[in-house]
Amino acid sequence: MSSTLKPEDAAQLHDAVQWAVAEEKPLDVVGLGTKRAIGRPSQHEFTMDLSALTGVTLYEPEELVLSARAATPRAEVEQLLRDKNQEFAFEPPDLSGLLGASGPGTLGGMVASNLAGPRRIKAGAVRDHFLGFSGVSGRGETFKSGGRVVKNVTGYDLPKIIAGSWGTLAVLSDITLKVLPAAETEGSFAVEGLSDEMAVAAMSRAFQSSCEVSGAAHLPEGLLGAAATVFRIEGIGPSVEYRLEKLAALLNDLGASEKMDPEASRDLWRSIRDVSFFANGSDRPVWRLSVPPMDGAKVAAAVAAKCEARWFFDWAGGLIWCEVPEADNASEQIVRAAVAQTSGHATLIRAPQAIRAAVDVFHPPEPGLALIAQNVKTAFDPNGILNPGRMYASA
Amino acid sequence: MSNLKMPEVDQTALARRQEVAADLRRIVPGEGVIDEAEEMRAYESDGLTAYKQVPLLVVLPETVEQVSAVLKYASDNGIKVVPRGAGTSLSGGALPLADGILLGLGKFNKVLEIDYDNRCAVVQPGVTNLAITQAVQHEGFYYAPDPSSQIACTIGGNIAENSGGVHCLKYGLTTNNVLGLEVVLITGEVVRIGGKHLDSEGYDLMGLMVGSEGLLGVVTEVTVRILKAPETARAVLVGFPSSEDAGQCVADVISSGIIAGGMEMMDKPAIHAAEEFVQAGYPLDVEALLIVELDGPEAEVDHLIERVSQIAEKNNSVSMRVSNSEAERASFWAGRKAAFPAVGRISPDYYCMDGTIPRHQLPKVLGRMNELSQQYGLRVANVFHAGDGNLHPLILYDANVPGELEKAEDFGSDILTLCVEVGGVLTGEHGVGVEKRDLMPTMFTETDLNHQQRVKCAFDPEGLLNPGKVFPELHRCAELGRMHIHRGQVPFPDIPRF
């Protein structure tokens, strides 16, 4: 039974990590624990519960910047942003339905996972909006990097390496993010009946137009009924109207398109963002594949040829969410072989713990990069006390 | 040159110069190795011309295999290497070392692939920033980051510096527009990071590479995102009676939910210098001038121009012009884009600074800068990427007057320290290089800097790549990696547990 440390401020966090370093006690770093089901099960004796480190410490809407303690609940921050017609432009997903968790979690978890939603393709990921942080590294030392301004090249861009590091390099206490105005309105339309290949080509055409598409997804036949390729446009009213019409005209050779009102559009894109189609209470493995957009259909077909999979595409084909049958190996070989045709990578987002302990959850890096990644881990956490084994068996 | 302490010169490397040149000629045959002092002089400085140093040797490889072999040779022989693109750095990032090989990547100047379907271009690092846009603009595409030096600066240099430009607030910096890199490590090993897909697997090493100022690896291929150009763009030129009014106008534009394609501010000295130089039609009776550019479909741009005009009026604007043609829009920008050379005309020399501040601190920073200007007896003109708070004060001085360069540098240091004091940073887009290296402790503690240096150690444990840049103090990696474990001596922390 592991014990839990629950620091109440940055100073206590510092002391707690220092103690863990001195005693060589590996820590499981947790905010609200909503993403604990992602990653390899880490080997730890103590849980570092950050949930007391909450509160927004700075929000200046006109400066497009927000700072908060690391475990501030996302729901609280997102409400604050909504009140000022702002948002996180990267559209962070709420995977609680998929993972059977209690909610969208904390800012720290959002940063540590670097997961972004449909607008990723236009607005970037968490890493592109993560301006600065303060935290404690696995050396037990409090340090900071970045700042509170958007344009900053002072020293190495450590926020980049912290985003998506799943708590394996440092425990964050404070986070500063760029925020942006929310679009005044949005509209979507769907083209029905396209094959994956045709859909990927259509989405590419949409992105090669000047319509500033902010979402392009394809839901193959059977997921919701007939196959639907969906396009989203956001902005001010007259501009959205104009661009929707222009895009529909551009794609009218593909058959009739069905226009959605803003509310239906929001609902659908939330489902795509949150992978709700696979939020079925099951434990069936779900993979997240990032590939060059034009390779999307090919990769999905390669998986489908080898197992009974269900999938859909976001990011104009560049992101594939793929549910595979229950199997001890989560069909890892099949998925990785399919991705290996491209420069892309695959991450196992949902699977029973035993499977996550047995297969590579994160994509194994090529040897040259693996060595650098290992060196980076050692640089921040030489004794391997922060979430050891969560990303890679050796780190 | 002011007293800049560089890493101790390796006398062995100097003594072996002829031998090293001969060895390198076996890797890069023909004219790829330069060892004549006269010819090497072309490489003795970059855009920060106050600092000069002739390198040990200049090597100009043409293939990745050659880059790899040169780095492996340097690594095996313990010789330092300074990578260089076009040498336009304003912070001395490409300043040579007396005992180091200058590795010029100018011959890597090919566009390798344009993939419109995946909206990206694969190019070699010596391709200029502008050449990427030129390679795709016939199809209506462009590469978004547009540093002022884009006609000359290379994409490899942009990666090293994480370059910005006037459109960053809406379209991001280099780091937000790069998808993939091929990098040669100091060991000679060639690795690929990213590709044509989004997001890295595992740790975001690409995010570390961008902006690392040539200290982590040598980039030999770059995949960048290309964007379809907006249908139209229009600009508003607004004059204000004070920088406070102009600053408030910028804040109000952003608060109202408008992210302009570009938002630039100039102060009175900059306005006058630019107007005298290019006759852009700028008003001369205003204290601050704002250029706001909106881009997108016509309906959107017209609507937003109207809103921006109203916001400007509410903030006491005294003059306003809206561009009604591409020619007029270009004329609004002509003065701003020529601001640096324009200032160069009214002063024998100028020193360009590059801090970023929280925007609302602008009046305070400008006020203090005026005081400093009087204190140092040097004039200063300001251009400001107002949307993202990136300030470029241009300090006017005369290098022929003894002591003026030093005074200008001290004035510059005071400005940057001020930027940090008000919550900003030392450099928004020009990089640390040698120029701001010794100011790093104003922003970072030793612990902060050591965490950065250990990243350097993860890539280059012997510290052979571009040493003497970015970090004020060089530590050996073994020393940095040491941990002082106090097992049994650190008390269990007095914090809630259960």
Query: In sequence order, what DSSP letters do the residues of A2-19 get, joined into one string?
Result: -EEE--SSHHHHHHHHHH
Could you tell me the CATH number of the domain that includes residue B427? 3.30.70.2740
Q: Is A177 exposed, middle or buried (0-12, 13-18, 19+ CB in 10 A)?
A: buried
Tell me, yes or no, whether B184 lies in a domain: yes
Whether the pLDDT of residue B487 is over 80: the answer is: no
Tell me, yes or no, whether B315 lies in a domain: yes
What's the rounded Cα separation, in Å, for the pair A290 and B122? 19
Tell me, yes or no, whether B181 lies in a domain: yes
Tell me, yes or no, whether B98 lies in a domain: yes
A69 token code pair: 């303690």
Do B458 and A372 make contact, defined as CB atoms within 8 angstroms? yes
What's the rounded Cα separation, in Å, for the pair A56 and A76? 9
Question: Do the domains A279-367 and A49-181 match in fold?
Answer: no
What's the rounded Cα separation, in Å, for the pair B34 and A52? 61
Q: Can you point out the beta strands (E) in B226-286?
A: 227-228, 232-240, 262-267
Let me know whether B42 and B93 are in one domain.
Answer: yes
Each domain of chain A, given as residue ranges in start order, spans 49-181, 185-273, 279-367
How confident is the model over B57-91, as pLDDT tens digits?
999 999 999 999 999 999 999 999 999 999 999 99
Do B497 and A5 make contact, defined as CB atoms within 8 angstroms? yes
Do A7 and B493 make contact, defined as CB atoms within 8 angstroms? yes
Whether the pLDDT of residue A243 is over 70: the answer is: yes
Q: From A202, which residue of chain B is nearest by alpha-carbon distance?
A: B117
Residues in B touching A165 (Cβ below 8 Å): 203-204
Residues in A touching B212 (Cβ below 8 Å): 156-157
* B490 min Cα distance to partner chain A (Å): 6
* B204 min Cα distance to partner chain A (Å): 5
What's the rounded Cα separation, in Å, for the pair A49 and B259? 38
Class of domain A279-367: alpha beta
How confident is the model over A320-353, as pLDDT tens digits?
999 999 988 999 999 999 999 999 999 999 999 9
Close Cβ partners of B369 (under 8 Å, ≥ 6 residues apart): B380, B382, B393, B415, B418
B116 token code pair: 């419109």
Q: From A291, which residue of chain B is nearest by alpha-carbon distance?
A: B197
| Nearest beta carbon to residue B428 from set A137, A152, A184 | A152
How confident is the model over B34-48, as pLDDT tens digits?
999 999 999 999 999
What's the maximum distance between 2 C-alpha atoms anywhere in chain B? 75
| Nearest beta carbon to residue B458 from set A120, A368, A376 | A376
Residues in A touching B447 (Cβ below 8 Å): 141-143
Let me know whether B126 and B184 are in one domain.
Answer: yes
- Reported ipTM exceeds the 0.95 cut: yes
Q: What is the pLDDT of residue A1?
A: 46
Q: What is the pLDDT of residue B4?
A: 84
CA pseudo-torsion sign B186, A394, A384, A34: positive
B443 CB within 8 Å of a chain A CB = yes
Let me know whether B303 and B237 are in one domain.
Answer: yes
Chain A segment 305-344 residues within 8 A of B by beta carbon are: 315, 318-319, 342-344
Q: Number of structural domains, chain B?
A: 4
Let me know whether B100 and B116 are in one domain.
Answer: no
Domain A185-273 has CATH 3.30.70.260: yes
| Nearest beta carbon to residue B205 from set A60, A319, A369 | A369
Asked whether A25 and A68 are in contact (CB, 8 A), the reply is no
Residues in B touching A157 (Cβ below 8 Å): 162, 175, 207-208, 210-212
* B343 min Cα distance to partner chain A (Å): 24
Domain end point (choices B178, B212, B228) = B228
* B400 min Cα distance to partner chain A (Å): 31
* C-beta pairs of A322-326 under 8 Å, 24+ apart in sequence: A322/A286, A322/A287, A322/A288, A322/A289, A323/A278, A323/A284, A323/A285, A323/A286, A323/A287, A324/A284, A324/A285, A324/A286, A324/A287, A325/A284, A326/A283, A326/A284, A326/A285
Q: Can you point out the beta strands (E) in chain A?
A: 3-5, 27-30, 46-49, 56-60, 65-69, 86-87, 130-137, 142-146, 170-178, 180-181, 185-192, 213-219, 228-235, 257-260, 286-290, 310-314, 319-323, 345-350
Residues in A touching B258 (Cβ below 8 Å): 181
How confident is the model over B175-206, as pLDDT tens digits?
999 999 999 999 999 999 999 999 988 999 99
Q: What is the pLDDT of residue B50?
A: 87
Residues in A touching B117 (Cβ below 8 Å): 201, 204, 208, 293-294
DSSP label at B93? T
* A280 min Cα distance to partner chain B (Å): 27
Q: How many residues does chain A have?
A: 395
Asked whether B415 and B372 are in contact (CB, 8 A), the reply is yes
**To 10 degrees, what angle do helices B298-314 and A237-250 make?**
170
Tell me, yes or no, whether B453 lies in a domain: no
A85 CB within 8 Å of a chain B CB = yes
Do B205 and A347 make contact, defined as CB atoms within 8 angstroms? no
Query: Which residues, in sequence order, are bridge partners of residue B385?
Result: B264, B390
User: pTM here?
Assistant: 0.97
A381 token code pair: 């956490």
Close Cβ partners of A269 (under 8 Å, ≥ 6 residues apart): A117, A118, A186, A188, A215, A217, A230, A232
Q: What is the pLDDT of residue B234?
A: 96
Domain end point (choices B339, B374, B392) = B339
Could you tell me the CATH number of the domain that includes residue B81? 3.30.43.10
Whether the pLDDT of residue B498 is over 70: the answer is: no
Let me know whether B284 and B304 are in one domain.
Answer: yes
Chain A segment 182-201 residues within 8 A of B by beta carbon are: 182, 184, 201
Whether the pLDDT of residue B1 is over 50: the answer is: no
Residues in B touching A380 (Cβ below 8 Å): 451, 454
Whether the pLDDT of residue B225 is over 60: the answer is: yes
Asked whether A153 and A131 are in contact (CB, 8 A), the reply is no
Q: From A200, which residue of chain B is nearest by alpha-carbon distance?
A: B117
How confident is the model over A116-169, as pLDDT tens digits?
999 999 999 999 999 999 999 999 999 999 999 999 999 999 999 999 999 999
Neighbour count for residue B370 (Cβ, 10 Å): 12
Let me know whether B298 and B390 are in one domain.
Answer: no
Domain end point (choices B201, B228, B255) = B228
How confident is the model over B403-460, as pLDDT tens digits?
999 999 999 999 999 999 999 999 999 999 999 999 999 999 999 999 999 999 999 9
Domain containing B410 equals 347-437
Let me know whether B144 and B60 are in one domain.
Answer: no
Q: How many CB pairs under 8 A join A and B?
A: 325
Let me know whether B270 and B295 are in one domain.
Answer: yes
How confident is the model over B123-146, as pLDDT tens digits?
999 999 999 999 999 999 999 999
Residues in A touching B497 (Cβ below 8 Å): 3-6
Q: What is the pLDDT of residue A395?
A: 59
Whether the pLDDT of residue B497 is over 80: the answer is: no
Do A378 and B180 make contact, defined as CB atoms within 8 angstroms? no
Tell me, yes or no, whether B458 lies in a domain: no
Do B430 and A153 make contact, defined as CB atoms within 8 angstroms? yes
Question: Mean pLDDT in chain B?
Answer: 95
What's the rounded Cα separation, in Å, for the pair A271 and B97? 56
What's the rounded Cα separation, in Å, for the pair B423 and B439? 15
Chain A segment 11-30 residues within 8 A of B by beta carbon are: 12, 15-16, 18-19, 21-24
A107 token code pair: 């800012």
Provide mean pLDDT across the span A282-308.
97
Q: What is the pLDDT of residue A113?
A: 97
Chain B segment 345-404 residues within 8 A of A by beta carbon are: 356-360, 385, 388-390
Q: Where does the pLDDT of residue B355 fall: very low under 50, low under 70, confident under 90, or very high at 90 and above?
A: very high
Let me know whether B283 and B320 are in one domain.
Answer: yes
Class of domain A49-181: alpha beta
Asked whether B219 and B182 are in contact (CB, 8 A), the reply is yes
Q: What is the pLDDT of residue B2?
A: 55
Q: Where are the alpha helices (DSSP H) in B139-267?
A: 155-161, 168-171, 205-209, 243-255
Close Cβ partners of A64 (under 8 Å, ≥ 6 residues apart): A86, A150, A178, A179, A180, B254
Let me know whether B178 and B89 are in one domain.
Answer: no
Question: Mean pLDDT in chain A?
Answer: 96
* B131 min Cα distance to partner chain A (Å): 20
A51 CB within 8 Å of a chain B CB = no
